[in-house]
């Protein structure tokens, strides 16, 4: 039985939401100076042809290499000092979303809860058998996608609420300053947004801002 000792961490990187849906094979990068361990993970991942695995044992110029390889998923040892190099990559490319799976040797309920709370998508106790690598990867991806969808829905809901508020404000300004009816004020905002190819909330925002600058009470 192959067991990987010690706490381990896996970082998955997805380029975009679209990539997750695409037919392209998943490109997985394993960063590990320990070739034996890397090959266990590699064996565990290779299966029917929907994944491609690259192993990077040499970590000099890591950032440049990752950009060249452009993986969807990165596996890296928790003890590898180059984890900070990966952080830099996340920093420069904020669009990168990443489910995280953590492999630990022993744990308690509090740790598991804390891990889930912190956004770790899969928390696996008792080391890592090669037979399980693939299912863990899949679990993490599924949970991550579900979590991302929830978050996006929440964000969308928040944005919609904020949008509605600012549109109401802009309408009030138009009604007062130009004597328009409410439907006409709304129609004017919509027409302007369409002509300028911008969101209605953006147009409303500019209007409220401008009214504020011009000293009208409405902008406040």
Which spans of this chain sit near another protein (rule: CB under 8 A)?
7, 9, 11, 60-61, 63, 78-88, 90-91, 98, 100, 102, 104, 110-111, 114-115, 118-120, 123
What's the min distance (Å) between Cβ of 6 and another protein?
A: 12
What's the min distance (Å) between Cβ of 137 and another protein?
A: 17
DSSP 75-140: EE-TT-TTHHHHHHHHHH-TT-B--EEEEESS--HHHHHHHHHHTEEEEEES---HHHHHHHHHHH
Which tokens go with 33?
Answer: 């100076």
Closer CB to another protein, 52 or 83, in the complex: 83
Closer CB to another protein, 21 or 94, in the complex: 94
Cα separation, 132 vs 137, whole angstroms: 9
What's the min distance (Å) between Cβ of 54 and another protein?
A: 21
Closer CB to another protein, 46 or 80, in the complex: 80
Closer CB to another protein, 118 or 187, in the complex: 118
Q: Which phi and psi angles does 23 have, rounded to 5°?
A: -90, -5
């Amino acid at each position: 039985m192959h067991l990987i000792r010690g706490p381990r961490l896996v970082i998955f990187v997805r380029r975009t939401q679209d990539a997750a849906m695409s037919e392209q094979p998943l490109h997985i990068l394993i960063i590990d100076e320990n070739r034996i361990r890397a090959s266990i993970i590699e064996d565990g991942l290779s299966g029917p042809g929907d994944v491609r695995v690259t192993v990077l044992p040499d970590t000099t110029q890591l950032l440049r290499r990752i950009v060249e390889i452009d993986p969807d998923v990165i596996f890296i040892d928790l003890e590898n000092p180059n984890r900070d190099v990966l952080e830099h990559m996340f920093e420069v490319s904020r669009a990168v979303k990443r489910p995280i799976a953590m492999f630990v040797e022993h744990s308690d309920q509090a740790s598991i809860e804390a891990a889930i709370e912190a956004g770790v998508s899969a928390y696996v106790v008792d080391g890592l058998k090669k037979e399980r690598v693939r299912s863990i990867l899949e679990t993490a991806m599924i949970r991550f996608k579900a979590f991302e969808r929830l978050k996006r829905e929440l964000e969308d809901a928040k944005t919609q609420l904020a949008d509605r508020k600012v549109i109401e404000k802009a309408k009030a300004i138009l009604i007062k300053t130009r004597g328009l009816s409410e439907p006409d004020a709304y129609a004017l905002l919509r027409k302007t947004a369409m002509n300028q190819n911008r969101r209605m909330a953006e147009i409303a925002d500019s209007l409220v801002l401008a009214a504020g600058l011009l000293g009208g009470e409405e902008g406040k």
